[in-house]
Structure 1
Amino acid sequence: MWSSFTYHEPSTLQYLILIAFFSLLNIFGWVAQWLLSAGLLGQILIGVIFGEPLAGWLDQSWMEAFISVGYVGLLLVVYEGGASASIEKLTALLPLSTCIALTGLLAPIALSFVLESLGYFEPVHAFAAGSSLCSTSLGTVLAVLSPASIGFNLRQTRLGTALLSAAIMDDVVAFILAKILGVIGEGHGSIGANVGRTIGVTIVLAVIIALLTKYALRPLYTRLRRDRRWRSAVWGGEGLLLLFITLLFVGSVAAAGYAGTSPLYGAYLAGLVTAYLSENEQSTPISHNDIPDAELYSSSPASGPALFRSSTYPSTSHFTPPGSTSAVKIPHVVGSAPTLSSAFEHSVAPVLNLFLLPLFFGSIGYCIPFVPLWRGRVIWRGVIYALLMLVAKLLCGIWVLIWPAKWAGGRKGWKGAVFLGLAMVARGEIGLLISQIAYHTSQPLFDEDEFLIVTWAIVICTIIGPVGVGLSISRWGRRVLDGGWD
């Protein structure tokens, strides 16, 4: 007996709710970007309103699906961050990034034990709280660093490279801490085995991908770029490059996830591979000599090489006089060969920015237990803890001032220190994930009040971080790069 899912038309109320939800995610994002320079806050607010915390208009199945689809958006934005990195700067700044990451990890955990000394938390609970607040929201960092938001590409600067690398390191370690908390809370399993496997997989995966890229992918890609035939083939151009990106992205994410480390790490490695392959890559002009003469012409708007029908390559219009059986021979305007970057920007970026990323931040909104947060005892303790966690991440910016290679520029580099510290503040999705793991284990590592206090800290930091970054960029612009951090 065969079976299939039964198709049924959604009710009028259902599709009106969905239309309103998707539309308002972008509208409120635009308003929040205009008012606060942090569009993601408007999208989180829509998630709070439409989801379980308040109105409850979204079905449970919808919210589960939106979390999964939104997480694809997070993976893609992490890939984009890696793809926009400079490999040379990344390598040179690795020691600095490591110091920033260690500060961002250890300071929140250390300051969380202040709550233990005040009698708020038990020691293990204080460790769980610090683990929840030691991450840095990659989605938030990459959203606020978007060239469309700040007006210039800060991701490719020394400051942006150090920031993204540190955020990735923090999130990989946070993923390890989540496994540790799961073992502690469930009361079974070996912490050493779980941690050892994750660290080993993280290192081995990077080595394997690096070797494959250097000895297999780069020679293959270089050969492809030099072959003129692929540009004019029906299967060539941006379509082929998009297939290459997709296979690379899916393969890296799947390898990381199944091996036992963070899928975000796999997405970032895929982005770094793309950056490495694209080094010194220029848009190769296509001349009439590169393409057979027959392919420079098309008999109808629907015919001819797919490359030249793309909006990337402008073409002259075709006109066939009425009653004529043959087309007028009018040449296309010759353009440039596509690149990995252009393939992503034209095919993926619009969907990512208008649908997947807003959906991701909206899903964060309805995962916040909004109503229970508003209890006096919980509020003031949550605010105090949020201030401690704000200071913990701001300490990361000190490295911009004291790093030996930049000592001479320290005095005028304080703006970059403030910017980097603020950019590390937002906890977002990773913080909520770890805190919920700690709260929902068979032997909970938080009681209800402790969970809400930690949630307050995550929410406040996720608001202050993007707003602070937006205001600093609005006030200083490119001056955040003073001191040689461009």
Structure 2
Amino acid sequence: MSSSSSSIAAPGTIPYHEPGFVDLAIVVSFLYFVQVARAIANRLLHAGLLGEIAVGVVYGPVARILHTDWQQTFLVVGYIGLVLIVFEGGLTLQPKSFLPQLPMAIIVALCGILLPLAFTFALFSAPTFGYPPLQAFTTGSALASTSLGTTFFVLRSAGPELGTTAVGEILKGAALIDDVIALVLLSVIQSVASGGGNLGWTIGRPVVASVGMAVVTPLVTTWLFQPLFRVGKVERLVQRGGRAVELFLGVAVLCAFLGIAYFTGTTMLLGAFLAGAFLSALPSPGSSISFVECWEKWLVPLQEHIFVPIFFASIGFSIPFLDLWTGARIWRGIAYSLLMALGKVLAGGPILVLDLFARPGPDATASLELNEEQRGEESGRSSAQETAIDPSGCTDAEKGRASRLRSATRVQIGRGGRSSFVRESLPCAAFVGLALVARGEIGILILQVAYTASTESSSSSSSSSSSSSSAGSSGSTLVLTEEPYLVGIWAVALCTIAGPVAFGALVRRCEDIVKGSARWGLQA
């Protein structure tokens, strides 16, 4: 009687009891080894997230140390880390440097979406693969995405100045646009998998919501909330309250934007980015209010040691590691991974095209002016010498000499332009392309949603006693079967691993070149 009464708890409560030693040891070891693995991966590969993903794989699908409900809890906690990564990107956004790069960011994002889709259709239609076009579209949609959290994380890890370069701003914009388009593609896949729905509204809702939020937020911030914050008593109250009030206001604004994004049908990560940009625009110039300093004081320690490690470990929970190791899956996965990495690297191609066909930049102009000045001085000295020899003057000789000097100058500038193209443009294009290679959470989300929908559809059709015609119609909803699903997981995993490693190596080798580029580096 006493045992049964002790197990009864009031609604909304749970009976409190001391956790077992095994449970405590599992959680403590998980949190500790995530930190250790990050430090080791940072030291060896300059990509700490690989160690965190590896710990997630071990504790999740390989050894199954963490219970499924614990993994779900850590996934939610880790997603807070992802939201905060993107929120920080918006908080440190500089509109004056970001907006001029937005057209190039759109072009880069479209290339990063269309190239992986085209490569997927080409590869999956080959006889050695032979996957249906619908499943090629589903897998290509997953690999057309970009891991927004990983992109912002590696950009932040590379150094604060690289994020303010022109290519850094292009990278932020392209990653955001990729994420929005991936959400649209996911909506289309879900609609096809369910076998109905208004496809036009399915596609249009996230697009309209995303564009609406991106356009309305700056306008409302500039014309409504900024004057109310500065003119009214709000700014003085926030200043008087100090960092604690700034933190409260930041959390409130972040939650509001997340809710707006979620219920309007777009990605919450866009809401997090816009929330950061909204907050950074509120204080008056010279005000003591600094949401960035509040962020660094209160949230950075939690972000670096708790939320971000758990986020990348939760990616490891979602990788079906043991199912990947068959001969066909291995070589197909590696081949597809290489092609998908190439698709994102080539997304940096518009930077090369613009540098190849654009007019000379500031360096070439300065070189031209210097050579013109030197040529004028040399021409003046030659004219004086010739005038001393021939008092009547030799204008034809002077013109010929000046013409030859101009030709030599053009050759010198042309060589300098080609040298600058190889020395500056290629690293800047690779900077953008390599940072977009990682797929991470978005790619896994699309693959798992599509595979789960197809599995449920096939199981329901096999369990029901239906006619052959209805069975054929249910088969049309199989948007992703096991083999292309695992090949896609291979590509997501390898791209998420290789992308940050290659990006880190590029930054260590070419950081000064990227920052010093006249067109793509640090802007005045």
Do Structure 1 and Structure 2 share a fold, with TM-score over 0.5? yes
Kindly provide the CA deviation profile for residues 196-236 of structure 1, in whole angstroms up to 9, marking residues without a partner as x: 122111122233322321123212333479966754x4xx1
Counterpart contact for 1:46–1:365, Cα < 8 Å: yes
Counterparts in 2 of 1:150 and 1:225: CA distance versus 1, 3 Å: farther
Partner of 1:201: 209
Kindly provide the CA deviation profile for residues 245-297 of structure 1, in whole angstroms up to 9, marking residues without a partner as x: 1111111111000111111111111122133336x844x5xxxxxxxxxxxxx
| Match among 90, 94, 99 for residue 91 of structure 1 | 99
Q: CA deviation at 1:31?
A: 1.1
Partner of 2:349: 398
RMSD: 1.9
Give TM-score scaled by structure 1 length.
0.84
| Match among 507, 512, 515 for residue 473 of structure 1 | 507
Counterpart contact for 2:86–2:149, Cα < 8 Å: yes
Paired residue type of 1:131: S
Partner of 1:418: 430
Counterpart contact for 1:402–1:410, Cα < 8 Å: no
Supply the distance in 2 between the matched residues of 1:72 and 1:151 (Cα, whole angstroms): 23
Paired residue type of 2:26: I
Partner of 1:311: none
Greater Rg by CA: 2
Partner of 1:153: 161
| Match among 25, 44, 58 for residue 35 of structure 1 | 44
Residue 28 (structure 2) pairs with residue 23 (structure 1): no
Residue 468 (structure 2) pairs with residue 459 (structure 1): no
Paired residue type of 2:290: T
Counterparts in 2 of 1:230 and 1:116: CA distance versus 1, 3 Å: closer
Greater alpha carbon shift after TM alignment, 178-187 vs 471-480: 471-480
Kindly provide the CA deviation profile for residues 110-155 of structure 1, in whole angstroms up to 9, marking residues without a partner as x: 0001123303211111111110101110111111112xx3344322
Q: CA deviation at 1:186?
A: 1.6
Paired residue type of 1:100: V
Matches within 5 A, 1:54-453: 54-119=62-127, 120=129, 121-146=131-156, 149-223=157-231, 231=239, 233=240, 236-277=241-282, 281-282=285-286, 337-403=288-354, 408=361, 410-411=421-422, 412-441=424-453, 442=457, 443-453=477-487
- Structure 2 gaps, min length 5: 1-8, 362-419, 458-476
Q: CA deviation at 1:413?
A: 2.1
Counterparts in 2 of 1:219 and 1:125: CA distance versus 1, 3 Å: same
Supply the distance in 1 between the matched residues of 2:67 and 2:329 (Cα, whole angstroms): 29
Q: CA deviation at 1:439?
A: 0.9
Q: CA deviation at 1:375?
A: 0.6
Q: CA deviation at 1:435?
A: 0.7
Supply the distance in 2 between the matched residues of 1:230 and 1:209 (Cα, whole angstroms): 22
- Structure 1 gaps, min length 5: 285-336
Structure holding more helix per residue = 2
Counterpart contact for 1:406–1:483, Cα < 8 Å: no
Q: Percent identity?
A: 36
Counterpart contact for 2:333–2:491, Cα < 8 Å: yes
3-state SS of 1:348 partner: helix
Q: CA deviation at 1:175?
A: 0.5
3-state SS of 1:85 partner: coil
Q: CA deviation at 1:372?
A: 0.6
Aligned residues: 426
Greater alpha carbon shift after TM alignment, 347-356 vs 268-277: 268-277
Q: CA deviation at 1:30?
A: 1.4
Counterpart contact for 1:87–1:276, Cα < 8 Å: no
Supply the distance in 1 between the matched residues of 2:140 and 2:103 (Cα, whole angstroms): 24
Kindly provide the CA deviation profile for residues 9-50 of structure 1, in whole angstroms up to 9, marking residues without a partner as x: 211011111111111111111111111111100000000011
Paired residue type of 2:148: L
Supply the distance in 2 between the matched residues of 1:200 and 1:227 (Cα, whole angstroms): 33
Q: CA deviation at 1:406?
A: 7.8
Counterpart contact for 2:180–2:206, Cα < 8 Å: no
3-state SS of 1:466 partner: helix
Supply the distance in 1 between the matched residues of 2:359 and 2:183 (Cα, whole angstroms): 32
Supply the distance in 1 between the matched residues of 2:256 and 2:485 (Cα, whole angstroms): 36
Counterpart contact for 1:135–1:174, Cα < 8 Å: yes
Counterparts in 2 of 1:228 and 1:67: CA distance versus 1, 3 Å: closer
Counterparts in 2 of 1:185 and 1:341: CA distance versus 1, 3 Å: same
3-state SS of 1:440 partner: helix
Counterpart contact for 1:415–1:482, Cα < 8 Å: no
Give TM-score scaled by structure 2 length.
0.78
3-state SS of 2:62 partner: coil
Paired residue type of 1:28: A
Partner of 2:403: none
3-state SS of 2:281 partner: helix
| Match among 23, 48, 51 for residue 14 of structure 1 | 23
